[in-house]
Structure 1
Amino acid sequence: MHNTKDNTSRWGELVEQLHSRLDVLVDLFMARVQEIPEYAGNRVGLAELRDTARETFRRLVDGLRDKELQQSGRNGDRDSLMRFSSELGTKRARAGISPDALISAVRLDFGILWDDLLLIADPEDAMLLTSRVDRVWRVVDEFATHTHSSYSAERVRMAQEASNIRREFIARLFSKSELSADTISQAAAALVTDPDARFSIVAASGEAASQLRAIAAQGPQSSQRLFVHEFGGSAYVFWALGRTAGGAQPGGSGYLPAGIAGIPCGYVEGFSGLRALPSAARTAERLALLLHPSDRGPLTAADAWARLAKQQLQDAGLDLWADLDSSLSPCRGGERERLEETVRHFLSTGNITTTAQSLFCHRNTILNRLNRFQDLTGIDLTVPSQAARLVVAWA
């Protein structure tokens, strides 16, 4: 049995033998790491992988030295090992190696080092190896942990960089009404989407905008990725549906991501390609401005065409509601309410009989009310252009 002094000396001899066998350690590592699919797939070049393995084992073996020898300045130290592990984690993240594959590769080091120690040790070194196994494990484990930590930090930085790039290109798409082919191509590449796909977009401000941002931040609940743009207190969320021709369109043009269906917002569905995004965004924003307190979900142009028309007419100084209100002013004793109720039902169905059934009235009563309404307002509900005026006025 070796005494403490002999143990220290003998351990030093074994460590020096490991140093002289770096090529053997590297060959063993290269053979085993090729069993990990991502490494076998040449995501990391063989020459770079071999050089990295050699530097890894050199530093790990340095870390196995007794403290007295480490402090004497011979070879490397712990700081060198940690710096190297940081660089390794960063490189593997950039190479696209998965975290599981990375840890599997790094953990090979312990088995290779320990097996080689057993190979070069004498039978009487059994107690010595038993007393040093914890050191070998700690050195390799610290290296593995630091490598993974650096890897994870780099993955976060990469995600932030990708997010910043996406935001930059999304801002370009929203900033121009006429998009160049280069801008569209570059933006599509950054967003990893088909520039000719069909897209849908929603827009909102205030609390609804916060809800949209929260839904988008949760990530895709299906194959559709959600892209977000914020400007002037408004939030815009858009997503791809599929190609405009010959391709699949998941969920159809009316597909709404989970959660958005319950948010009051302007909604433009199924427009063609990224080139149409600026125009669709303006429409969605305009629709959002037309939302009523009673609205409980997305508002489309099909739903809000009358509101849009009314707003346009008011902007031009024409107020259909004021004219209608004046025409109905002669009504007394609840007549106006009965007339408006009857006309609204008729406009929603276009059928006298259905309207009479809904209001529990005789058909002739409905006809008399419609005639009375026409006498007061001059609006003939059987003429589509005149009925449209009324729909807009009541929007």
Structure 2
Amino acid sequence: MHNDQDYGARWGELVERLHGRVDELAELFLARVHEIPEYAGSTVGMAELRDTARETFHRLVDGLRDKELQRSGRNGDHDSLMRFSLELGAKRARAGISPEALTSAVRLDFSILWEDLLQISEPQDAPLLTSRVDRVWRVVDEFAAHTHSSYSAERVRMAQEESNIRREFIARLFSKSELSADTISQASAALVTDPEARYSIVAASAEAATKLRAFAQGPQSSQRLFVHEFGGSTYVFWQLGKATAGGRHPAGPFIPAGIAGIPCGYVESFSGLRGLPAAARTAEWLALLLHPSDRGPLTASAAWARLAKQQLQDAGLDLWADLDAALAPCRGGERERLEETVRHFLSTGNITTTAQVLFCHRNTILNRLNRFQDLTGIDLAVPAQVARLVVAWA
């Protein structure tokens, strides 16, 4: 029978022998870690892996000493091991190693240490090894836990840093109406996007901006979306597709499903990052033209009349006031009938179709159109005059 003192002395001998075999442990680790595909083709060089493996096993073996586990089990050597694990986790995160590959690599430490202990021990050491297996596991497990904690923290920091860089370059794209070639090149590299591709952009404010931002920054979007916030407005833009060798763009405009139900200004397509500032201004203008009844994105093709009306009002011209005054003599529901007829006619350009929709005789439609022309002076056969009417009703 061995007493605790005998076990302690023998354990110390085995630990010292492990110290003398650190190089062999490191080489065995190198052979096995390269069986993990991600390490075999990673940016971590062989020399760096070897040095890290030697340092890891050196510190782990130090952690196996009996004196390391007295009372709280923490002293200078133990703290040094933990500091090393923090450095290692951060390094592997920066090297782009995946968490799964890191876990597989760290798990090798226990198996290699334990296999070597079995190799250098004697058959009569079996009870001793049985009593110490938990210690070996705890030392390696704590090292692994700290390594993973540092790895995760570094990944979060890197993601935040990358996000900050993206935001910075997106802000640069929005800050000037004329973008330099250097700004475009640097921004496209930071955003990992094609500077010459076609893009779409939407803009929203108030409650719609909150919804737009939540969707764009949420995990539910499969499309890569870029977000910018300025002056109470939220802008979201995305790439439509790269140009082919002949300069043609194969994909037409599309809008992510989550944005399709948000009232916002929408520029369906513009060419290259150089066109972003102008497209953003247009999207912002369209957002200002939204009506309470709008339930989705508003395009320039759908809102051109609203935009023209707003600009004319800004210039002091109110087409609606003139039209309202011209129709004032109508009595007994005549105005409503005339407006309904004209609106349907403008939407189709066909008198027969208008008559069918309104369940009226064709001559009734003609009479109403003539009456409208007499009151307003607008000839519905003249496009320039019709445009005034469309803008007034926008």
What TM-score does the superposition give when structure 2 sets the normalisation length?
A: 0.96
Q: Where does residue 84 of structure 1 map in the other structure?
A: 84
Mapping for residues 133-172 of structure 1, pairs under 5 Å: 133-172=133-172
Letter in 2 for 1:184: I
Cα distance between partner residues in 1 of 2:244 and 2:218: 30
* Cα deviation code 1:8-56 (max 9, x no counterpart): 0000000000001111101100100111112111420111110000000
Mapping for residues 314-393 of structure 1, pairs under 5 Å: 314-393=313-392
Q: Where does residue 307 of structure 1 map in the other structure?
A: 306
Letter in 2 for 1:161: E
Mapping for residues 240-251 of structure 1, pairs under 5 Å: 240-246=239-245
Q: Where does residue 30 of structure 2 map in the other structure?
A: 30
- What's the CA shift for 1:81? 0.7
- What's the CA shift for 1:2? 1.7
Cα distance between partner residues in 2 of 1:35 and 1:161: 32
- What's the CA shift for 1:69? 8.3
Q: Where does residue 15 of structure 1 map in the other structure?
A: 15
- What's the CA shift for 1:381? 0.6
Stretches of structure 1 lacking an aligned partner (at least 5 in a row): none
Letter in 2 for 1:85: S
- What's the CA shift for 1:67? 2.5
Q: Where does residue 239 of structure 1 map in the other structure?
A: 238
- Of 256-265 and 293-302, the range deviating more from structure 2: 256-265
SS in 2 for 1:238: strand
Q: Where does residue 217 of structure 2 map in the other structure?
A: 217
Cα distance between partner residues in 1 of 2:112 and 2:328: 96
SS in 1 for 2:199: strand
Letter in 1 for 2:101: A
1:294 aligns with 2:293: yes
Q: 8 Å contact 2:215–2:221 — kept in the other structure?
A: no
Cα distance between partner residues in 1 of 2:214 and 2:81: 42
Cα distance between partner residues in 2 of 1:295 and 1:138: 63
Identity of aligned residues (%): 82
- What's the CA shift for 1:306? 0.4
1:279 aligns with 2:278: yes
Closer, same or farther: CA 178–220 of 1 in aligned 2, 3 Å: farther
Q: 8 Å contact 1:244–1:273 — kept in the other structure?
A: no
- What's the CA shift for 1:249? 6.0
SS in 1 for 2:257: coil
- What's the CA shift for 1:253? 3.2
Closer, same or farther: CA 68–245 of 1 in aligned 2, 3 Å: closer
Q: 8 Å contact 1:220–1:226 — kept in the other structure?
A: no
Q: 8 Å contact 2:204–2:263 — kept in the other structure?
A: yes
* Cα deviation code 1:327-359 (max 9, x no counterpart): 111111111111101000001100000000011
Q: 8 Å contact 1:203–1:267 — kept in the other structure?
A: yes
SS in 1 for 2:341: helix
- What's the CA shift for 1:258? 2.5
Mapping for residues 117-196 of structure 1, pairs under 5 Å: 117-196=117-196
Cα distance between partner residues in 2 of 1:369 and 1:218: 53
Cα distance between partner residues in 2 of 1:240 and 1:106: 40
Letter in 2 for 1:133: V
* Cα deviation code 1:275-321 (max 9, x no counterpart): 00000000000000000000000000000010011111111111100
- Of 329-338 and 289-298, the range deviating more from structure 2: 329-338
- What's the CA shift for 1:241? 0.8
Letter in 2 for 1:201: I
- What's the CA shift for 1:254? 2.7
SS in 1 for 2:208: helix
